[in-house]
C-alpha cells in the first residue's frame, strides 16, 4: 500500500546513501593522503583512548584545523592537485548515474599561495571550557578522543594565523576571565561573552568585533563592559584601528546585523590588484589576500572578457570580482545578500573612480530574473558565481540554466566537495528536456588555504 511515510523514508535513505557515496570518495582520498603525510611528518598522534593533555591538545587542534601543516608545501600542492582530479572524477560519475556522459574537463596545474604562513586576514574565536576545566577558554573546539566531549583549545600554535590575531585573542581571554559576567556557549544559557572576531589588512591595521549575548543584560552593563575592554586594550598597548561590539541573539552570530562601533574607524581598507577596498565588520573578503590576487588573475584569464562584455557577478561580496573586472569589460553588475558588503562595494567603486559597476542588494535567487530583464540587450555576458562553502539554492542554478543570455559561467568554489556544491555543479551539466545544459570545459585549482585540506576551484562552464 502507498504510504507517504515509507516513501519519505525511502527518499531519505536514498539521499543519505548518495551523500555517503560522495563523502566516502573524498574521505578515501584524504585517508590516503593522511597515510602519506604521517610517513612524511612523523607526527605526534593523539590516540583514540588518551585524554587530551596540555601538550596533545595543540596537536589535536592542529590535526583538525591545519592537518597538512607538517607536510612540505610542494607536497601539499601535489595532494591538492590529486584531490582536484578526484572531484572531477566524482562529478563525472554522478553525471553518469544521471545518464549524462561528459568528457573529463581540462584540469590546470594548481597555483600556489604567495604566502604560506600567517596568511589569514580574519579569525573567529569562541568560548568553551578548556581541558583544565576553565569555562572561559577562548579558541577552537576539539573533541576529546577519550570521551567525545568538546574542549576549547587556544590557537597559539596554529601557523596559518597571524600573531597579531593571537595576541588580541589572548588579551580578550585575560580580560573576560577577570570579568564577573559568565561566558556564553548558547544563546539561551544566560551567559554573556561569546567570542571575538579579528580582521586585519596587509598593512597590519586591525578590526576586532566582540560578540556577546545581550539576553538579560541592560544597556548600561553592556556599555560599561565595552568601555572597560577598550581601556584594557589601551593599557596593554594593543592598538586596534576599529573596535566593535556585536550583540547577537542567535546561535550563529552572523544572523544579527547590529554592529556598535566602540572606538576607532568604521572600516578597514585593503589593497588588492591595485584597487583599494573598503571592508565593514559584516562583509566578506577573501581570507588570504595575496592568493586572492592570484585567484582573480586566473579567473579573468579563463573568462577572457572583452571591452564589449558585461560582467554579471553573482554573490559579489565586497565587489572584488566586479571592481577588478571593470577595467576589462564594458560594465559590471554585482548581486549580494549582505547589505554592508553591497555598501562597501559601492563605496569602493567611488573611491577608485570606477563608473561602470552597479551593485544590487538581494538574494540571487530572488533578484536574478529582474536583473536579467534589465540586461536583455547586453552583449557577450560573462557570469561569475562565487557562493560560500555551502553552494547555492537550486533556484539559482535553475535561473541560470533558464536564461538564454548566460552562455559562459565561472563557478568559483572554496569547498567543491560539499554536497550542495556538487549538486549545483551536476545540475548545470545534466541533460534535461527543458533547458540547454552547460559543458564543463576546465577546472583551475588555486591554493587559498595552505596547510588545510581546502582549495579554491574555478569551474569554467560554456554552452
Distance, CA of 408 to CA of 421 (rounded, Å): 18
**Smallest distance from the beta carbon of 83 to ligand SAM, in angstroms?**
19
**Contact call for residues 193 and 176 (beta carbons, < 8 A):** yes
226 annotated as a binding-site residue: no
456 annotated as a binding-site residue: no
Cβ nearer to ligand SAM, comparing 318 with 383: 318
Cβ nearer to ligand SAM, comparing 262 with 335: 335
Residue with cell 556538487: 422
Cβ nearer to ligand SAM, comparing 11 with 250: 250
**Smallest distance from the beta carbon of 376 to ligand SAM, in angstroms?**
21
Give the residues lining the site for ligand SAM (CB under 6 A): 284, 286, 315-318, 320-321, 335-338, 341, 363-365, 386-388, 392-393
Which of 332, 357, 414, 455 does the annotation list as catalytic? Answer: 414
Task: Tell me how long the chain is.
Answer: 463
Cβ nearer to ligand SAM, comparing 364 with 446: 364
Cβ nearer to ligand SAM, comparing 225 with 282: 282
**Smallest distance from the beta carbon of 281 to ligand SAM, in angstroms?**
13
Cβ nearer to ligand SAM, comparing 43 with 393: 393
**Smallest distance from the beta carbon of 424 to ligand SAM, in angstroms?**
11
**Smallest distance from the beta carbon of 393 to ligand SAM, in angstroms?**
6
**Residue closest to ligand SAM, measured at CB:** 317
Q: Which candidate, 263, 267, 286, places its Cα nearest to that of 278?
A: 267
Cβ nearer to ligand SAM, comparing 341 with 381: 341
Angstrom CA distances, 112 to 85, 203, 350, 440, stand at 17, 22, 32, 23
**Smallest distance from the beta carbon of 358 to ligand SAM, in angstroms?**
15
Is 414 noted as a catalytic residue in this protein? yes
**Smallest distance from the beta carbon of 432 to ligand SAM, in angstroms?**
22
55 annotated as a binding-site residue: no
Q: Which candidate, 200, 197, 161, places its Cα nearest to that of 58?
A: 161
Annotated binding site for S-adenosyl-L-methionine: 286, 336, 386
**Annotated catalytic sites, by residue?**
414
Annotated binding site: 286, 336, 386
Amino acid at each position: 500500500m502507498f504510504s507517504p511515510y515509507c516513501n519519505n523514508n525511502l527518499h531519505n535513505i536514498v539521499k543519505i546513501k548518495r551523500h555517503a557515496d560522495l563523502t566516502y570518495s573524498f574521505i578515501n582520498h584524504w585517508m590516503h593522503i593522511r597515510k602519506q603525510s604521517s610517513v612524511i611528518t612523523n607526527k605526534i598522534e593523539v590516540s583514540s583512548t588518551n585524554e587530551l593533555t596540555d601538550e596533545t591538545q595543540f596537536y589535536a587542534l592542529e590535526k583538525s584545523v591545519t592537518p597538512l601543516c607538517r607536510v612540505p608545501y610542494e607536497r601539499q600542492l601535489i595532494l591538492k592537485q590529486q584531490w582536484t582530479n578526484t572531484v572531477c572524477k566524482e562529478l563525472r560519475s554522478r553525471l553518469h548515474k544521471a545518464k549524462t556522459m561528459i568528457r573529463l574537463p581540462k584540469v590546470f596545474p594548481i597555483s600556489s599561495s604567495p604566502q604560506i604562513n600567517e596568511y589569514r586576514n580574519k579569525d573567529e574565536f569562541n568560548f568553551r571550557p578548556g581541558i583544565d576545566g576553565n569555562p572561559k577558554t577562548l579558541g577552537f573546539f576539539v573533541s576529546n578522543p577519550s570521551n567525545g566531549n568538546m574542549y576549547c583549545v587556544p590557537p597559539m600554535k596554529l601557523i596559518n594565523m597571524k600573531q597579531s590575531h593571537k595576541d588580541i585573542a589572548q588579551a580578550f581571554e585575560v580580560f573576560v576571565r577577570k570579568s564577573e559576567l559568565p561566558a556564553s556557549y548558547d544563546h539561551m544559557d544566560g551567559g554573556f561573552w561569546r567570542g571575538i572576531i579579528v580582521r586585519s589588512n596587509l598593512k597590519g591595521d586591525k578590526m576586532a568585533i566582540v560578540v556577546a549575548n545581550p539576553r538579560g543584560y541592560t544597556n548600561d552593563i553592556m556599555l560599561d563592559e565595552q568601555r572597560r575592554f577598550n581601556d584594557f586594550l589601551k593599557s596593554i598597548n594593543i592598538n586596534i584601528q576599529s573596535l566593535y561590539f556585536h550583540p547577537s541573539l542567535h546561535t550563529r552570530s552572523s544572523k544579527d546585523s547590529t554592529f556598535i562601533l566602540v572606538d576607532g574607524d568604521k572600516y578597514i581598507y585593503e589593497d588588492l590588484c591595485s584597487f583599494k577596498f573598503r571592508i565593514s565588520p559584516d562583509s566578506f573578503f577573501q581570507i588570504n589576500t595575496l592568493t586572492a590576487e592570484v585567484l582573480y588573475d586566473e579567473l579573468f584569464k579563463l573568462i577572457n572578457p572583452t571591452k564589449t562584455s558585461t560582467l554579471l557577478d553573482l554573490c559579489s561580496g565586497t565587489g572584488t570580482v566586479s571592481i577588478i573586472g571593470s577595467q576589462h569589460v564594458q560594465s559590471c553588475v554585482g548581486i549580494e545578500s549582505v547589505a554592508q558588503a553591497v555598501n562597501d562595494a559601492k563605496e569602493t567603486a567611488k573611491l577608485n573612480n570606477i563608473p561602470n559597476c552597479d551593485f544590487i542588494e538581494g538574494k540571487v535567487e530572488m533578484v536574478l530574473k529582474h536583473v536579467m530583464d534589465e540586461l536583455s540587450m547586453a552583449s557577450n555576458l560573462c557570469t561569475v558565481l562565487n557562493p560560500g562553502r555551502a553552494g547555492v539554492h537550486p533556484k539559482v542554478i535553475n535561473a541560470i540554466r533558464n536564461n538564454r543570455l548566460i552562455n559562459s559561467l565561472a563557478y568559483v568554489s572554496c569547498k567543491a566537495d560539499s554536497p550542495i556544491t556538487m549538486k549545483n555543479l551536476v545540475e548545470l551539466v545534466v541533460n534535461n528536456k527543458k533547458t540547454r545544459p552547460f559543458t564543463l570545459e576546465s577546472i583551475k585549482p588555486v591554493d587559498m588555504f595552505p596547510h588545510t585540506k581546502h582549495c579554491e576551484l574555478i569551474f569554467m562552464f560554456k554552452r
